[in-house]
Structure 1
Amino acid sequence: MTRESGIIVGAVSFQGNPYDAPSLPAVLSQVDSILGQRLNMVTSDRGYRGKRKIGVTSIEIPESGKRTKTASDKRQARDRFRRRAAIESIIGHLKHDHRMLCNYIMGQIGDAVNLFMACVAFNIRKFVWTLCFLYLKFFGHILRPNVQPVQAYA
C-alpha cells in the first residue's frame, strides 16, 4: 500500500502461512515490476525477522528506543509506524467487504485470483468514491447560488 494514497500496489499469495522474511523479496519484486522503480524504504511490524536491507530497500521495524535519536527522528518514525498500523484495517476490509474470508476457487491459482480480485475491487471502490467526491464538489459550486456571507455583530 502506498503511504499517501492508500492504493494497494502489490499483493502476492503464498502457499501455507509463511512469516514475513521469506515473502518480502517476492513482494518487493512485484511492486518493482508494477511501479517501475525500487522502493527506498519498507515499514514492517515487530513480527518481521530477517534482513534489514534487501537490495536498495531498507526495512524499518519499531524499536524499543535503544538508540538515542533526535526528537524529529522519533516523530518521523512514530508517524511511519502509525501509518503501518493502518494497513491492518485495510486487510480487515479486504477480508470482510471483499470476500476474502472464504475462498470458493480451489487451489493455489484460485487463492491468487481471489486475492487479485479483492485488491482490484478495493482500489476501484476507492477510485469511485474519489470521483463521487469530486463530482459533488464540482457541481456543488456550479449549482449553488451566490450566497453572500452574513456579517454578525455582537
Structure 2
Amino acid sequence: MRTIAGRLVRDVERKLGTMVDGYRNELDLYKRVLAQKKKDKNKVYSLHEVDVQCISKGKEHKLYEFGNKVSITRTGSGVIVGALSFRNEFDGHTLDKAIEQVEKLTERKPRNGICDRGYRGRSKVRDTLIHIPKSFSKALSTYRKNKERKYFRKRAGIEPVIGHLKEDHRLSCNYYKGITGDEINVMLAAAGFNFKRMMNKWKSSFWLFLEKIIVFLNRQLHPIRGGEILQTREKWAF
C-alpha cells in the first residue's frame, strides 16, 4: 500500500506541472505520511486533521484513543469553572494552566484540588493543595481518613459530568479545525453544560412559582368555610 501511494503521489506531482506550487502543502503532507515509521514521534494520524494525537488509555478494552486531552475543573456544587484543551502532556503538567484559568475566571484562589492518580507527583500547585487517592498512613487519625475519603468521593462526581459533555454537548467529536478549533469546542461544551444546568434550575423554580399561584387561586375560588379547608387536587400534565 505504501508503494502504491508513493507512486500515486509522484504521478500527481509530475502531472501538475506548473500548478504544483499551489498544492505544495498537500503534497508535503502526503510525503510526510509515507516517510514516517512506526516508532517515530509527532506522527500524522489523519490527513484532514494533522494535529490529532494518539493517547494511550492503558485499558484492556481500549488501548488508545485519537484526539487531544481536555482538562475539566468543577466546583463541589457541580459548576464547571475551567475547561482547557491540551495536546498529549502528562496530566500533572496541566495543573498550572488549569488552576490559573480558575483563578482568572472566579477571581478566587482554590485551596484544595482533588485529582485522580494520573496527576501523581504534584502535592501543591501555586497556592492549591493537590489531593490524590492513595493508601492511608497508619499515623492518620480517623477524622483525617474520613475527610480524605469525602474528598475522593467528590472527585468521582466529575466522571458523569465528562460523560454528559461528550454525549450531550459534542465534546466527543470536534468539527472545528486545528488546535484553535479544539480549544473553542471545549469552551463551548463547558458553557453549554453550565447553561443547561442553570436553565434546569430556572425550570424547577418556575414550576414552584406556578404551584404557588395555583394554590393562591384555589384559595380565592374555594375559600375556607366553617373552619374547614376545602382541598382540591389538580392534575397537570407537565
1:85-104 Cα offsets, whole Å, 9 max, x none, are 01011011101111111111
Matches within 5 A, 1:105-116: 105-116=176-187
Structure 2: gaps of 5 or more residues: 1-73, 232-238
| Structure 2 residue aligned with 1:3 | 76
**Residue identity opposite 1:10 in structure 2:** G
Q: Give me the CA root mean square deviation.
A: 1.8
Q: 2:94 matched to 1:94?
A: no
**Residue identity opposite 1:9 in structure 2:** V
**In 1, distance between residues paired with 2:116 and 2:76?**
15
Q: Highest relative contact order (Cα 8 Å, sep 6+), 1 or 2?
A: 1
Q: 2:120 matched to 1:49?
A: yes
3-state SS in 1 of match to 2:149 = helix
Q: 2:150 matched to 1:82?
A: no
| Structure 2 residue aligned with 1:26 | 97
Alignment counterpart, residue 134 of structure 2, candidates 30, 47, 63: 63
**In 1, distance between residues paired with 2:150 and 2:118?**
19
**If the length of structure 2 is used for normalisation, what is the TM-score?**
0.58
**In 2, distance between residues paired with 1:149 and 1:53?**
63
**Residue identity opposite 1:36 in structure 2:** E
**Residue identity opposite 2:75 in structure 1:** T
**In 1, distance between residues paired with 2:82 and 2:117?**
21
**Residue identity opposite 2:182 in structure 1:** D
**In 2, distance between residues paired with 1:76 and 1:95?**
31
**Residue identity opposite 1:8 in structure 2:** I
More strand as a share of residues: 2
**In 1, distance between residues paired with 2:180 and 2:187?**
10
**In 2, distance between residues paired with 1:56 and 1:81?**
20
Report deviation, 1:68: 2.8
Preserved contact between residue 82 and residue 98 of structure 2 (Cα < 8 Å) = yes
Instruction: Report percent identity of matched pairs.
Output: 36
Structure 1: gaps of 5 or more residues: none
1:53-83 Cα offsets, whole Å, 9 max, x none, are 1121110111212243222222221111111
**Residue identity opposite 1:114 in structure 2:** N
Counterparts in 2 of 1:49 and 1:149: CA distance versus 1, 3 Å: farther
Alignment counterpart, residue 127 of structure 1, candidates 198, 204, 217: 198
3-state SS in 2 of match to 1:9 = strand
Comparing 137-146 with 26-35, greater Cα deviation is found at 137-146
**Residue identity opposite 1:140 in structure 2:** E
Q: 2:209 matched to 1:138?
A: yes
| Structure 2 residue aligned with 1:72 | 143
Report deviation, 1:149: 9.8
**In 1, distance between residues paired with 2:209 and 2:115?**
39
